[in-house]
A and B are shown apart, each in its own frame.
Chain A
Amino acid sequence: MDSTATNALVELVRRAQKGDASAQRELVVSYQHRVAGFIYAMTGRSDYVEDLAQQVFIKMIRAVDRLEAPAQFESWLFRLARNTCIDQLRRQKLRRIFLPFGEEHENIPEPAGAVGTEELDALRHALAQLRPQDRALLALVQEGRSHAEIAETLSTSVAAVKARLHRAREHLREHYQPPHED
């Protein structure tokens, strides 16, 4: 992001922090597609996208006034998104333990080809084999986040991000089965 864009974002975040509804709306509109993509990469469920995205942005609106460095807004927002997805996946796991019979109704996987092309199915399948933390890492890289920004989002060091990213990419490649061309 260049300095003009960064300044514009900082200004927008400051207005949102003061409770300016139009600035809050602009932030939601600006980031909704990217956050939706991140959530889908994390959960692999189309039916979770809108609900979780709404939770993320509600948290954003309520907590933005406590953000001390508006320039770090994007890292902060994706940290909210990551935590929201991980909470959801944990709840899902607990439900599976306590309500084993609900599993078949609650966790119906999206059938191959139901959501898009074979390419997308292959990516979804490969992502589903990874740990949520690794999915978050890869999704953040696709978001264009730098290693330093990812380290900040995940509250870890740049070296740890590089090592984990290397392993996550290896795992993704292991499970990625590209579709046939014919």
Chain B
Amino acid sequence: MKTEDQAWRELQQHAVAQLRPDFANRVIRAAHGPDAAAWQQLQSHAAAQLRPGFAERVLRAARAIPGVPSLLDQFALSAATAALCLLGVVLVHSHNTQLQEQRNLARWQQLADEAQDADIGQ
């Protein structure tokens, strides 16, 4: 029995030895989450990434780069392009139809003349 107790104690001691000295504090800090100081460090680190003259560079860039077209502008441009394409298709179709009609009329005229000549010949 004594041996078993001793074994349990040794197991416990071994387990306790795995815990670092600041274990309790770490548990409390982990339970509360990051404190204000950690957030403050994050903020300071981020602020330090901005090179001096940041505001001037932003103002220069805002004036230099052309603005992104709005959704309405993009829609208007798409609509105008579509309208132009449609107009082109209608014009080409109308022109082709007109040419075909002229050709058909000329052919009919030729046939009518030939028929008339044949009638006169009889």
Knowing A36-B47, A178-B30, the reply to whether A116 touches B41 (Cβ < 8 A) is yes
Taken together as a complex, chains A and B put the C-alpha atoms of A176 and B1 apart, in Å, by 43
Contact B49 A177 (CB under 8 A): no
**Stretch of B4-12, B54-62, B102-110, B111-119 that contacts chain A:** B54-62
Contact A182 B59 (CB under 8 A): no
**Which residues of A sit under 8 angstroms from B51, Cβ to Cβ?**
50
**Count of chain B residues with a beta carbon within 8 Å of a chain A beta carbon:** 33
| Secondary structure class of chain B's binding surface, majority of residues | helix
Knowing A50-B50, A62-B67, A178-B29, the reply to whether A28 touches B41 (Cβ < 8 A) is no
**Which residues of B sit under 8 angstroms from A172, Cβ to Cβ?**
33-34
Asked if B122 lies at the interface with its beta carbon under 8 angstroms from chain A, I say no
Contact B34 A122 (CB under 8 A): yes
**Which residues of B sit under 8 angstroms from A120, Cβ to Cβ?**
38, 41-42, 45
Q: Looking across the interface, which residue of chain B has its beta carbon closest to that of A34?
A: B43
Interface magnitude class on chain A: 35 or more
Q: Looking across the interface, which residue of chain B has its beta carbon closest to that of A38?
A: B46
Taken together as a complex, chains A and B put the C-alpha atoms of A54 and B57 apart, in Å, by 8
**Which residues of A sit under 8 angstroms from B46, Cβ to Cβ?**
33, 36-41, 46, 49
Q: Looking across the interface, which residue of chain A has its beta carbon closest to that of B47?
A: A33
Tell me which residues from 26 to 63 in chain A have a Cβ below 8 Å from any Cβ of chain B. Answer: 28-29, 32-34, 36-41, 46-47, 49-50, 53-54, 57-58, 61-62
Contact A25 B47 (CB under 8 A): no
**Which residues of B sit under 8 angstroms from A41, Cβ to Cβ?**
42, 46
Asked if B69 lies at the interface with its beta carbon under 8 angstroms from chain A, I say no
Q: Which residue numbers of B lie inside 8 Å of A, CB to CB?
A: 20-22, 25-26, 29-34, 37-39, 41-43, 45-47, 49-51, 54-59, 61-62, 65, 67
3 shortest A-B CB distances, which residue pairs? A40-B46, A37-B43, A49-B49
Known: A40-B46, A57-B58, A122-B34; 19 extra A-B contacts, CB below 8 A, are: A25-B56, A28-B55, A28-B59, A33-B46, A40-B45, A46-B46, A49-B46, A49-B50, A50-B50, A50-B54, A54-B61, A57-B55, A58-B62, A61-B59, A115-B45, A117-B41, A120-B42, A173-B33, A178-B26
